[in-house]
Structure 1
Amino acid sequence: MYVILVYDVGEKRVGKMLKLCRRYLHWIQNSVFEGEITPVKLKELLASAKKIMDMECDSIIVFKSREEKWLDKEVVGKERNELGNFL
């Protein structure tokens, strides 16, 4: 499945969350990640994230789609982390 993950966590936890999310998805902008991920890997990511989060004030939002082709993406301004094709 293709996901866009957005998180909002306290300053003290941002570094840990960034590091965790980069292991599973592509960083595209501050606190925003995207990419293909299996349901099992997503569950693993969210379980690890919950260990970092303060559930009283932090949040994660996950937008899911069957495939990237079902999602139109438009970037206005500079794209922070361009995803290029590489061999």
Structure 2
Amino acid sequence: MYVILVYDICKEGNGQKRWNRVFKLCKQNLVHIQKSVFEGEISDSDLFKLEGSIEKEIDKSTDSVIIFKSRNERWLDKNVIGLQQDDPFMI
């Protein structure tokens, strides 16, 4: 399955630590494309594990995570305007 994951973590208090942990979890499974946005192919079981790990890290009263799911990347039209982060061809 192909997913786009976006998150908004409140950085006040212990929020920066939560933000860092969620970032690392996402980076292990998906491609970082923008500050708090990740995308990529992931199996159902790996996505289930990722969702569970993220749920343990966030504060549900201040943080949010949204995961958009598609069967395949080819069903999405993507248009990047400006700098594309984590471009493997950029030095």
TM-score normalised by structure 2 residue count: 0.87
Give aligned-pair identity as a percent. Answer: 49
Q: Which runs of 5+ in 1 are unaligned?
A: none
**1:44-83 to 2 correspondence within 5 Å?**
44-82=49-87
The alignment's C-alpha RMSD in Å is 1.1
**1:1-87 to 2 correspondence within 5 Å?**
1-11=1-11, 12=16, 13-82=18-87
Q: Deviations over 1:6-31 (max 9, x none)?
A: 01112221111111100110000001
Q: Deviations over 1:27-82 (max 9, x none)?
A: 00001000000111111001000111001111110111100011010000111122
Aligned residues: 84
Q: Which runs of 4+ in 1 moved over 3 A?
A: none
TM-score normalised by structure 1 residue count: 0.91
